[in-house]
C-alpha cells in the first residue's frame, strides 16, 4: 500500500465514497424517518436532485469577503481531506505517524468554517447559530479526542492505521468498547441530528448559520454535512469495530458500509424519537459523556 499509485487510488476511492455515496445515504435515512412518521417520503435520489437544483441557482452572498466567498468550498474540502485520513475498508490512504492529532484538527475544521460563515453573514439568527455551534463543538470535541487517545494508548501508536490493525488483531477490550460507545454518542451531535441539531434549530433560529446561505453555497454546506456524517461513521466502525476483515478491499469496504449503515440508522432512530434540547442541556449531556470516556481511558491505562 505504500506505493504512490496505491495511495492515490485509495485517496480517490475514499473521496468518491464521501462525495458520491453520502447523498444516497441521506436519502435512505430520509426514507427511514418518513416510515416512522407514517409518510411515504421523498424518493431515494432526492438529495442528489436537491444538490443539482441548488447548484444551478444564482449565487447570492451577504458579504464579499474572499474567505466568506470560499468558505462553503473550503468546508467541503476539509471533509474530503478527512475522508482521505479515515480508513474505509483498508488502511487510511493519508496515514502517517501521529496522524490522529491532525485528524482531530481536520475533523473540527468544517464546524469552525461554519461558525465563521455564521459570523460573517450578518444575520442575528446566524450569530446565535454560530455561538451555539461553537458551544456544541466545545462539548463534543473532548469526547472525540479522548476516545482516539484511548485507541492510541492501547495500540501504542498515534497512527490511525496502527490503531485499526491493533484492534483487529487483539479483539474487543473493555476500554475500546467504552470508547466506541462514547464516539457513537458524539456522532449524534457531529452529524447535526436531534436532539442536538441545536445550532440549526429551524423553528427557533431558522437554520442558524445557514440562514443566509442559498443556491450553490447552501448545496456545498449541505453536502459537507452529509459527507461528514458518513466519514465520521466510517471512523467509528473502522477503528472500534474492525472485524471481520477479509483483506480484499471491495469486500471490506462493503462490510464497513453495512456497519456504517447500522450506526447511522441507530443515529437516525434517536433523531426521530427526540425533541431538540437546549444548548446548555446538550453541553451538560456531553460533559457526562466526556467523563464516561475518561473511564475508558482509565481502563486503557490499567490494560483492560
Partner 1 sequence: MTPTSTKGMQSPWASRGPRLLEKRLGVGLAESRLIEPDTLWVRVPRALLRGAVETAVREMGARFLISVGTDQRSLGDGYGIVHLFSLDRDALFLAVECLVPEHQGGVDSITPIVPGADWSERECRDVIGVEPQGHPDPRRLLLPDDWPDGVYPLRRDFDYNERPAAVEGSRPPLKDHPRGSTVIPMGPFFPSLEEPSYWRIFVEGETVVGCDYRGFYNHRGIEKLGDSVLTWDRIPHLAERICGICGMIHSTCYCQAAEKAAGIRPPRRAEFIRTLILELERVHSHLLWLGIAGHIIGFDTLLMQSWRIREPVMWLTEEICGNRKTYGMNAVGGVRRDITPGQVPKIRDVVTGVEREILAVKRAVVGDATLLARTQDVGILSRKWAQEVCVVGPPARASGVPIDARLDHPYAAYDEVPPTLCTQGAGDTWARVLVRVDEALDSVRIIRECLDRMPEGPILTEMTGDFPDGRVGISVVEAPRGEAVHFVMTGGVNRPYRWRVRAPTFPNLQAMPAMIQGQNLADVPITLGSLDPCFSCTERMETVDVRSGQVTVHRRAELEAIVRRHRP
Residues near partner 1, by CB under 8 A: 33, 36-40, 43, 124-125, 128, 131, 194-195, 197-198, 201-206, 272-281
Q: In this structure, are residues 11 and 84 in contact, taking their beta carbons and an 8 Å threshold? A: yes
* Among 218, 254, 47, 18, CA closest to 126: 218
Give CA–CA dist 70/120, Å, rounded.
Answer: 12
For the bound state, the minimum distance from the C-beta of residue 296 to partner 1, rounded and expressed in Å, comes to 24
Nearer to partner 1, 187 or 198 (CB): 198
For the bound state, the minimum distance from the C-beta of residue 272 to partner 1, rounded and expressed in Å, comes to 5
CA atoms within 13 A on the CB side of 69: 4
The DSSP string of 17-57 is: IIIIIHHHHHHHHHHHHHHHTT-----TTHHHHHHHHHHTS
Nearer to partner 1, 189 or 201 (CB): 201
For the bound state, the minimum distance from the C-beta of residue 280 to partner 1, rounded and expressed in Å, comes to 7
For the bound state, the minimum distance from the C-beta of residue 225 to partner 1, rounded and expressed in Å, comes to 16
What does DSSP assign to residue 64? -
For the bound state, the minimum distance from the C-beta of residue 44 to partner 1, rounded and expressed in Å, comes to 13
Cell of 31: 426514507
Nearer to partner 1, 35 or 243 (CB): 35
Nearer to partner 1, 62 or 131 (CB): 131
Nearer to partner 1, 249 or 292 (CB): 292
Amino acid at each position: 500500500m505504500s506505493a504512490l499509485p496505491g495511495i492515490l487510488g485509495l485517496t480517490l476511492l475514499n473521496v468518491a465514497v464521501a462525495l458520491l455515496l453520502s447523498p444516497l445515504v441521506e436519502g435512505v435515512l430520509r426514507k427511514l424517518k418518513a416510515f416512522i412518521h407514517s409518510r411515504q417520503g421523498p424518493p431515494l435520489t432526492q438529495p442528489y436532485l436537491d444538490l443539482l437544483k441548488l447548484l444551478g441557482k444564482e449565487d447570492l452572498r451577504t458579504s464579499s469577503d474572499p474567505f466568506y466567498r470560499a468558505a462553503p468550498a473550503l468546508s467541503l474540502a476539509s471533509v474530503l481531506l478527512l475522508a482521505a485520513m479515515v480508513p474505509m475498508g483498508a488502511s487510511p490512504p493519508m496515514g502517517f505517524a501521529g496522524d490522529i492529532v491532525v485528524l482531530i484538527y481536520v475533523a473540527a475544521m468544517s464546524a469552525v468554517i461554519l461558525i465563521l460563515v455564521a459570523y460573517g453573514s450578518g444575520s442575528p439568527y446566524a450569530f446565535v447559530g454560530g455561538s451555539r455551534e461553537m458551544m456544541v463543538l466545545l462539548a463534543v470535541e473532548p469526547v472525540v479526542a479522548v476516545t482516539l487517545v484511548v485507541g492510541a494508548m492501547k495500540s501504542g501508536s498515534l497512527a490511525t492505521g496502527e490503531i485499526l490493525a491493533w484492534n483487529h488483531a487483539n479483539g474487543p477490550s473493555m476500554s475500546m468498547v467504552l470508547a466506541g460507545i462514547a464516539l457513537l454518542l458524539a456522532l449524534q451531535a457531529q452529524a447535526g441530528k436531534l436532539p442536538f441539531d441545536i445550532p440549526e434549530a429551524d423553528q427557533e433560529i431558522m437554520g442558524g448559520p445557514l440562514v443566509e446561505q442559498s443556491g450553490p453555497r447552501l448545496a456545498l454546506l449541505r453536502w459537507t454535512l452529509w459527507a461528514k456524517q458518513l466519514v465520521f461513521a466510517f471512523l467509528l466502525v473502522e477503528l472500534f469495530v474492525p472485524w471481520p476483515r477479509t483483506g480484499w478491499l471491495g469486500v471490506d469496504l462493503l462490510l464497513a458500509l453495512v456497519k456504517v449503515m447500522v450506526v447511522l440508522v441507530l443515529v437516525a432512530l434517536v433523531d426521530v424519537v427526540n425533541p431538540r434540547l437546549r444548548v446548555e442541556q446538550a453541553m451538560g449531556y456531553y460533559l457526562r459523556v466526556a467523563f464516561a470516556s475518561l473511564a475508558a481511558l482509565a481502563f486503557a491505562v490499567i490494560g483492560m
